[in-house]
Structures are given as C-alpha cells and as structure tokens.
Structure 1
Amino acid sequence: MEKIKDINRLNDVFFKSLLGSKERKNLTLNFLNSILNKDEDSYFVDINFLDKERLPDIETGKVPELDILAKLNDGTLINVEIQVTKQEYFSKRSLYYWSRLYAYQLNKGQNYDELKQTITINLLNFNYLPYKTCHNSYHVYNDKTQDMLIDDLELHFIELNKFKLSDIRKLRQAENWIAYFSPKCTDEQREAIAMNNPVIKE
C-alpha cells in the first residue's frame, strides 16, 4: 500500500482525530506524559475526553473554542490547543481559556479544596515568546523566593518553528512529539523517529 505523505499535522481536523479520540487515547496519554515530563510514579494512566460544548457559559461572555478538553485519572483537567495563525495577545487568550476551565470544576456548594490542577498545552506554528527554546512553561511563583504558591496553574507554549532537529537517536520523549508536529521535520525524518518510538510509529 502506498504511504500517505505530506500530511498537514497542524490541520484542525487531523489534530483532533489524532489526539482527541477515545479510540486513540493511548497516543494522547503518551503525548501528555512526554510533554509534561512525567516519571513512572506520576504517569497519567487514563483519560476521559469531555464535551467541549458543555462548558458553563457566562452570559454575554466570550465562549472558548477548545480543541481538546479532557480529565485525567487523578482529576487533572487538560486543554490542548493548536494555533496556526499568529495572535498578538495569545498569552491572554491562553490564560482566559485556563481560567474558564479552572472555574468550570465547581458547582454550587462545593469546597475550593476540590479544585484540581488545570493544564493548558499550546502548540504554536509561529514564534511568540522572546526565547530561543521551543518549549516554555509557566506556573505561579513567589517573586522573591521563587517558591511555588500552588501548582494548579500550568501553561505550556510549544513554538514548533523554533524546534531544531539534531541526532534523532538522542531525542527525548517530548522532543519526539514536537518533531512529529514540527513543519521543519520531513516525512523521512519522521520515519526515522518512528523506528525508535513505537507510539510515534503507530
């Protein structure tokens, strides 16, 4: 059978089909555990995809247009977004989406200690942050001591155009996935990555 080449992996439909389907949740779990650098003791082992259309709406408020929304086995809420077109205020948009998800967890009468960590992962096909590194993450820290106040907020920005492919055999798990989505990575290079990574091969 002839192999399908030149797939646009940043296509919205393809992306949601690949990582937003319960039939392929093993791929999504591998992607999340890799990007979030989870070790064996903290691996996410199950995922439940949520209905993106059922987010409680604020009357006359702006409605988030989510790509992938899911709850993990420990209750963590996760939102994965793909963004192709450059947006000047994307960090504000990302924080707005995060805040809506965080508030989404509680119903009337529930206690604040029931709130779970909420994570947003943004895959960007444009340069946005003033850093050379392609993957940057953000939390809430004390300005003086750098101690984390709470780990409930976690935002990731992955700028695919900044990814530099070096020795394929030495790629870390997260780098395998970044390379897979990066427009700079050729089909031949992806095939080489797949030889060393069963999940990417799948």
Structure 2
Amino acid sequence: MESFNRLNDLYFKKLLGDKKRKNLTLSFLNGILNKDDENYFTDITFLDKDNEPLTLDGKLSKLDIRADLNDGTQVDIEVQVCPFKFMAERSLYYWSKMYSEQLEKGAEYKKLKKAIAINLLAFDYLEDEQEWHNIYNLLNVKSHNKLTDHIEIHFLELPKFTLKDMRKIRASEAWLAYFSGKYSKEELEEIAMTTPAIKEAVEFEDTFLQDKIERRAYE
C-alpha cells in the first residue's frame, strides 16, 4: 500500500501504544530522548488516554499515548497530521494536566516527577527553527539557566527531516525515517540493521495491512 500513512491515529496507537509492543515504544522514547546505556528507560506502563475535564464544561483531553516510565517520568506522545497553529498551547495544556494529576490532595510537592510532552508533526510548525527536533524547557530569559528539569516539550517536524548518512544513523533518526514515509522498504531494511526495532515495526506493518478488519478500520 504505497500511500500507507504511518501517522494514522489507529495505526500509530496500535504500533506504539500497545503493551505487547512496549519494546518499540521504549526504543522510540530512548532514541528521541537521547538516552544511553546508563540512563536507558527499561519499562513503561500505559495509562488511560482520556483525561476527564476538571469542570462540567471543561475541555476533554484525548491523548494519543500516555505512559509512566520506570523512574516515574510521565510522558505524552501526540501525533498531528493536519496543520494546527495552536500546537504549543495544546501541548502545554496536556503537559500541565499530566504534571498536576500526579499529586492527590495533601501530597508533598517533592513527589512530583518529570513530565515530557513529545509532538510528532507532519507539517512545518516552528518557522524560526531549521532543525527537525527542537526541545523546550523553562529558562531564565537573561541567563538561560534552567529553573527545573521537570518540564520538557519536544517538537519533531517530519518535513524538516533528512537522513544524512544511513551508515551512521541514530535511533531517533531511524524512527523519523520510518514515520516520514520518505524511504523505501529496502532502505528501511538497511536502517533496521542498526536499529532492530525498525525491522519489527515493518513486520508489524505488513501484518496490520494483511488483516482485513484492521485495514478497513484504518481506511
């Protein structure tokens, strides 16, 4: 299926939002977050993706993938295919709910854990940025010193992504190459030699497309 969209909501959640394939989700997260062998995330627990509004007329949050990592880090992965000019505001809103909902009434603030929002975009969003991966923290506007490491918001813009050297590919680049749809199955097989999770993703994709029920739901 030449026009298969790997960012399709149904497929993306099947691929990276299912505990049966949490090794793929961990590969994606560890790659994007640039984790090495010493601080590599080793486990993930998927959580309810529908955050109930705080008031009767509040806005319901529909998260694509919401999870806890083994060190308590909270993570939200969002995919946006159509251009949306309020991605920053939406991401901050989702991040704030993810962060605030960690504590029950009377709990101590020291129990709060880092919260990370990752936005995978099929369009150019950050006009003043040339790189495909941009990370935002809370900084002092003069000294640029970081106030806390508890907030981290990532934007991954697929149109800006180009694989420079297939022989020296990082896990983050391998995953972006996969989701970009710019590379053939043969090229992905070559990429899979350095990132085995990509081979598993391609194999799952083939199984998904051969399943008539899943294919119909995707279409």
TM-score strictly above 0.5: yes
State which of 144, 162, 165 in structure 1 corresponds to 2:163: 165
Q: Contact between 2:74 and 2:114, CA under 8 Å: does it hold in 1?
A: yes
Match of 2:37 in 1: 40
Q: 2:58 aligns with which of 61, 66, 82?
A: 61
SS of 1:144's equivalent in the other structure is: coil
- 1:25-174 mapped onto 2 (5 Å cutoff): 25-53=22-50, 55-59=51-55, 60-130=57-127, 131-174=129-172
Cα-to-partner distance string for 1:45-65 (whole Å, 9 max, x where unaligned): 110000113x34211111111
Residue of structure 2 in register with 1:198 after alignment: 196
- Alpha-carbon displacement from aligned partner over 1:31-78 (angstroms, at most 9, x marks no partner): 10110001222111110000113x342111111110000000111110
Q: Do structure 1's residue 13 and structure 2's residue 10 form an aligned pair?
A: yes
**Separation in 1 of the partners of 2:155 and 2:181?**
16
The one-letter code matched in structure 2 to 1:151 is D
**How well do the aligned residues superpose, as a CA RMSD in angstroms?**
1.3
For each residue in 1:99-157, what CA deviation from the matched residue of structure 2 results, as whole angstroms up to 9, or x when unmatched? 11111111111011111100011000000002111000000111222111101100000
| 3-state SS of paired residue (1:106) | coil
Q: Percent identity?
A: 53
**CA–CA distance in structure 2, aligned partners of residues 140 and 80 of structure 1:** 20
Cα distance in structure 2, aligned partners of 1:82 and 1:195: 26
**1:140 is matched by which residue type in structure 2?**
L
Gaps of 5+ in 1: none
- Secondary structure of 1:126 counterpart: coil
What SS does the corresponding residue of 1:168 show, helix, strand or coil? coil
Specify every segment of 5 or more residues in structure 2 that has no aligned partner in the other structure, as ranges. 201-219
Contact kept in structure 2, 1:56 and 1:104, CA below 8 Å: no
| Amino acid aligned to 2:199 | K
Corresponding letter in the other structure for 2:179: F
Deviation per residue, 1:135-189 (Å, 9 max, x gap): 0000011122211110110000000011012221111111111111113233332
